[in-house]
Chain A
């Protein structure tokens, strides 16, 4: 039984994340039979309306990971300028090298094989704290965030509570 490069590396990352879990992050493959499909939990960063929340997301890795980035999708409702209503996360670290559809990202922000699941999740955490409204994925959220911040925060807080069954 042999593992290919992507699987081996993912297993390695899984091990590292298990041995030394970063604060506020739990991640691992849904089943070890498919190492290319992960589920993770991210804690809402403190000092933001997402504080106290826990957000499940799935990561899907391509076969040529780590040369190509995975995609990340939140599995619950999350109202955020950089998250599509479908849950898909739009963040520069997840954009493959080379193509820049929006022509605003510097290359250094994009995916590189040295990135890792941990770094992705940490970036997403910081994205939750500081949305980037240059390329909104959720226009409604971006607009509300820009113009009616308090309303936005109230909405996020409500959804965080709802997601915890409260």
Chain B
């Protein structure tokens, strides 16, 4: 495919086939994509209503709604079944996609050239080359090597594939062979399946091959889909551990049972979390959500053909916590807090990005140099203004440093502020007649500002100003309450200051 500026933004899509002679492959690719995440199926699972989704997607859906997203039939996580055949098909398609697309995109006149380069033109052969896992390999550099290669090695590989397939029928399918990271450059011995350099295969066959298939270290058989996940886990463990006798780096993961949170006391839940090695910090609601998310992640991982390590899962959970798991997002159901929280999520995502190992500091600095300058300017200006509240400063640290502890950052007192900003931009007119001379940007302008600066500065600014504005509005309220209500009996007016800061988060979704 094309050379992309940043890999993260390169999300292949089924529409890529449009405009090529192979446009008919678009529906094919669509069929290989999950309806929820629109990506290729990752550990596809069948629901009781015979629909298929990624394991993680359907588990998340069911935890939100316990209904199939497609037909809305009620379903349970424990009833999900793996769709291994589809998994293999998806893997195979994914692996061949790049070549196919290149082929399709090549101008028709020069079609002969790429065919010559990529080797034999028949599709089956093309697939065979794919089987060796040259995902990232350039056909040109590969070609000479292939020609000098012993045919025996190639035959050996194919045999190994078949053998493996046969073996797979005894337990869960494992397309690891196809998936093998292409960068290891190794091939499997046709007999014992030990991976080694291809030059070594011949000698190995003659000398050290044990003569019977050995479970390779990379091959981690999946526990058979348990119909009673919680009742027979030990059985599965035994079964699978027998298979992996030769090289047992990792125990096959066991699925975690769901908890009935309403039956659990706080302390019990905390204990459960600490048993799992998770943070026990936060409100009860957050604890429940965290536990649920962990179970979802964990169980989805159990479905995977290449389960991730626990540390990776913990990182995923962390990521989730920083973005989705935010307590106020949970409360708002996604509707209300979007503006403010979206802003924060962005900051937090950026934080995660900065922490990344491959982070290119220099490029970052040059790219956002202007924004940084703006931010500093605005912060200086802001300090003069922000004597009333610390909120702006908090937002500041958040924007700059990026959410190490993002989830705890929002205090209840901050909510109305966020909300105010959101309210302002989402519709309602502001009481302009009481606004101080340094009036905040009107809704339209706020948005524009957001578009122009990609930093958090405008938003933060608006928040601060909005708060200031609110302070102006409030003093008038008690007075008004006494005055404009004459016909009704008076309820003692509550001092205005408390009114707005005590406000809970609204949910504008309920329209």
Chain A interface residues (CB < 8 Å from chain B): 1-9, 11-13, 15-16, 19-20, 30-34, 36-37, 58, 60-71, 73, 75, 84-88, 90, 95-99, 101, 107-108, 112-114, 116, 135, 137
| A112 to B65 CA separation, bound complex (whole angstroms) | 9
Contact present for A11 and B11 (CB under 8 Å): yes
Contact present for A1 and B39 (CB under 8 Å): no
New contact pairs (7) apart from A8-B37, A37-B342, CB-CB < 8 Å: A15-B11, A16-B38, A19-B13, A63-B329, A63-B341, A64-B329, A86-B428
A96 to chain B, nearest CB (A): 5
Q: Which residue of A lies closest to B368 (CB)?
A: A33
Q: Which residues of A contact B61 (CB under 8 A)?
A: 67, 113
Take A73-B427, A96-B333 as given contacts and tell me if A63 and B324 are in contact as well, using a CB distance cutoff of 8 Å.
yes
Take A33-B346, A71-B335 as given contacts and tell me if A12 and B450 are in contact as well, using a CB distance cutoff of 8 Å.
no
A–B Cβ pairs within 8 angstroms, 25 of them: A2-B8, A2-B352, A6-B323, A8-B11, A12-B13, A12-B37, A12-B39, A15-B13, A15-B15, A31-B451, A31-B454, A58-B447, A60-B339, A62-B337, A64-B334, A70-B338, A86-B427, A96-B335, A97-B67, A101-B511, A107-B72, A113-B57, A114-B35, A116-B38, A137-B511
A135 to chain B, nearest CB (A): 8
Restricting to B292-338, which residues have a CB under 8 Å from any CB of A? 319-320, 323-324, 326, 329, 332-335, 337-338
B134 to chain A, nearest CB (A): 26
Total number of B residues with any Cβ neighbor in A under 8 Å? 60
Q: Is the interface of A mostly helix, strand, loop or mixed?
A: loop
| A107 to B73 CA separation, bound complex (whole angstroms) | 11
| A40 to B41 CA separation, bound complex (whole angstroms) | 29
B286 to chain A, nearest CB (A): 14
Q: Which residues of B contact A108 (CB under 8 A)?
A: 72
Chain B interface residues (CB < 8 Å from chain A): 6-9, 11, 13-16, 18-19, 35-39, 57, 60-61, 64-65, 67, 69-70, 72, 319-320, 323-324, 326, 329, 332-335, 337-339, 341-343, 345-346, 349, 352-353, 356, 359, 426-428, 444, 447, 450-451, 454, 508-511
Q: Which residues of B contact A64 (CB under 8 A)?
A: 324, 329, 334
| A14 to B216 CA separation, bound complex (whole angstroms) | 41
Contact present for B342 and A36 (CB under 8 Å): yes
| A108 to B353 CA separation, bound complex (whole angstroms) | 38
Q: Which residue of B lies closest to A5 (CB)?
A: B37
Contact present for A32 and B36 (CB under 8 Å): no
